[in-house]
Structure 1
């Protein structure tokens, strides 16, 4: 029996190792950005060398985190040195780090027989089954809606949670979605935990969140990309759409650059192989069309749109072109309150949340979901 287990473990490791071989000898570096010129240099290196910026950082406040291929590592580090930018090695071999994480995750899963779905990175089918169960368990509160198929044919479902079945027009709607970027696995558990707290573990002090608010929660916007990141390429970010008129080699679109707001103007790359390719036109992706349609259907009532992303501890608001909406002060006040609450509950080793305009705190972009919602909803 022991021999069998050893052979089995060896086989699992071999499969896991091969799965991540595309990132063999890729390295990740912390970059101490000082100001906007350093951030611009990283943007230029992203365009010219194809480096993958995991976290853009903030001048004098937070380091950037950048993944580099072995072929481009020397040029990347020389560019930093020539500009006097301090840096340090964060991960020496991304493939090895991914293998170790996957093995740790497998060990965690095997040690917990009754793990809660939001304490893991569930597959698409698990999330779908959970939503089906929730809808069946709470028929007087929950409506399960199938927005339609993804590009590859997976149903994109969301929950409508309401004590009045969305018939009370005086109640505001909070719309939350996650997993627009396929590799941001931590976002879906946040949406699932929100469902759990609203329905399965509702506390007396939170009853008003159910009584006074109607909820729309969409846990996986981009199921095709998410499944691909689970099975083939952990760091896949885009959708999985194929458009042979655009490219015969590369597929997919950055869903959070695909909305019809200053489309294809800032923070995007025209190369279809880039992680930041916005698509051939706004709403080219069926997945972003579903988000748009939900926003438009409930246009008068949505008071909060929460588009959940990672990596980094941020509470961000519009606009991504560095301009501010009329209610910026109000949004910042709410964001600061959110950040303070999350800071009070975070792990000691986690960084504090930064709150601010996304174009200033992170980097300018165009075609983002939150900007589109801000303009259309005028919230």
Structure 2
């Protein structure tokens, strides 16, 4: 019965997918956002089988016995039947996702000033970083972490308060954001965090700034982010050409050279979600960024921001294997989440590995940094949202949560002797 469902959806999806790779604005008119509920193991089996056979159908916000999926109108009836056959329950949370996108685009500013009540395209984010480096020349400098397929720089900001002791070798903290193009809240909260580090009068935040050599990159997939802003709100991948295919892009968080393509990724270049690329580091973004990260001496922490599962993840994502400091990472992570909860009362899932709390996924940046570089403190924060939408006027909510989470993270890391 379930196989019948898979075949039916495959046939239907074959008629709908080709439009998603055309160079015209995709409205998502009449796409429905479903909430799927049921016994946890049945739900996991349903998601895993669907992702394996039909990875074009995106699931998200997977938490325990609940998940969400965005479904094209021509697939809605078949999808509902598949949910029924799997002994699960589906309900429609958003009847027409284009209305959400229209509201979001209405508030998006693409030129002019910069604030945290709107979403901005790559050029505006980079202009902000350049302005910041001009405003605080003694504390900051622009850094280039790599380049993109379309020729953009992966531009970041280094924040390093001058030390009285010139020989000080501060611990380095690297922040990665925006690796998945559609996760707009992550560049927004990252620039908010930059602003907090530089302008806050809170002595704890100023101390956090001064203790580390920060390398912060708001959008490490600039081509994909720009495309998401201008053509397809739900675009996730890079924009590279795939060998032997007309389909574009690879998932940059399945393209790192650690257990590449073993779990939660596909070799199909037309996969809309998790194509791992033609080889490890096939994407110029991941290759050049990895080289930058590997060049950093005294790298204490690597923190990646995603959305919108509202969970905290630790390595490793593709197996039940734990790092040798797993217990410490759990303790540090719990303190971080406790600090974040004080802001808005929001509960996050985890800390846990993706294999434990979501599903197995190989080729991610977090696992590569931990396994290949031995960086001791490595996390992925999945921020809040409703299928990648977060109201622009509420960006400061998450920005304040992230700031407090970073305070909690590094306070507990210090308590445990990591620096």
Q: TM-score range by the shorter chain?
A: 0.7 to 0.9
Q: Residue 75 of structure 1: CA displacement?
A: 2.3
Q: Residue 264 of structure 1: CA displacement?
A: 0.7
Contact 1:268 1:366 in 2 (8 A): yes
Residue in 2 that maps onto 1:144: 142
Q: How big is each residue's C-alpha offset from its partner over 1:61-108, in whole Å with a ceiling of 9 and x where there is no partner?
A: xx21111122322222112111211221111122233223333x25xx
Contact 1:169 1:301 in 2 (8 A): no
Q: How has the CA–CA distance of structure 1 residues 367 and 33 changed in structure 2, closer, same or farther, with 3 Å as cutoff?
A: farther
Q: Residue 219 of structure 1: CA displacement?
A: 0.8
1:320 aligns with 2:317: yes
Moved more, 121-130 or 49-58: 49-58
Residue in 1 that maps onto 2:365: 369
Q: 1:70 aligns with which of 66, 70, 73?
A: 73
Residue in 2 that maps onto 1:118: 116
* SS of residue matched to 2:35: strand
Contact 1:146 1:155 in 2 (8 A): yes
Q: Residue 302 of structure 1: CA displacement?
A: 1.1
Unmatched runs of 5 consecutive residues or more in structure 1: 1-17
Residue in 1 that maps onto 2:328: 330
Report 1:1-379 matches (<5 A).
19-21=25-27, 23-60=28-65, 63-103=66-106, 105=107, 116-164=114-162, 168=167, 170-243=169-242, 245-247=243-245, 249-274=246-271, 275-298=273-296, 300-321=297-318, 322-346=320-344, 352-378=348-374, 379=376
Contact 1:342 1:353 in 2 (8 A): no
Q: How has the CA–CA distance of structure 1 residues 344 and 242 changed in structure 2, closer, same or farther, with 3 Å as cutoff?
A: same
* SS of residue matched to 1:257: coil
TM-score (structure 2 length as normaliser): 0.78
Contact 1:28 1:94 in 2 (8 A): yes
Q: Distance in 2 between matches of 1:294 and 1:167?
A: 24
Contact 1:119 1:189 in 2 (8 A): no
Q: How has the CA–CA distance of structure 1 residues 135 and 117 changed in structure 2, closer, same or farther, with 3 Å as cutoff?
A: same
Q: What is the number of equivalent residue pairs in this alignment? A: 349
Q: How has the CA–CA distance of structure 1 residues 132 and 273 changed in structure 2, closer, same or farther, with 3 Å as cutoff?
A: same
Contact 2:42 2:88 in 1 (8 A): no
Contact 2:114 2:124 in 1 (8 A): no
Moved more, 314-323 or 141-150: 141-150
Contact 2:47 2:59 in 1 (8 A): no
Q: Residue 148 of structure 1: CA displacement?
A: 4.1
Unmatched runs of 5 consecutive residues or more in structure 2: 1-23, 377-419
RMSD of the TM alignment (CA)? 2.4
TM-score (structure 1 length as normaliser): 0.85
Contact 2:114 2:128 in 1 (8 A): no
Q: Distance in 2 between matches of 1:338 and 1:178?
A: 18
* SS of residue matched to 1:258: coil
**Larger RCO: 1 or 2 (CA < 8 Å, sep 6+):** 2
Contact 2:172 2:301 in 1 (8 A): yes
Q: How has the CA–CA distance of structure 1 residues 70 and 47 changed in structure 2, closer, same or farther, with 3 Å as cutoff?
A: farther
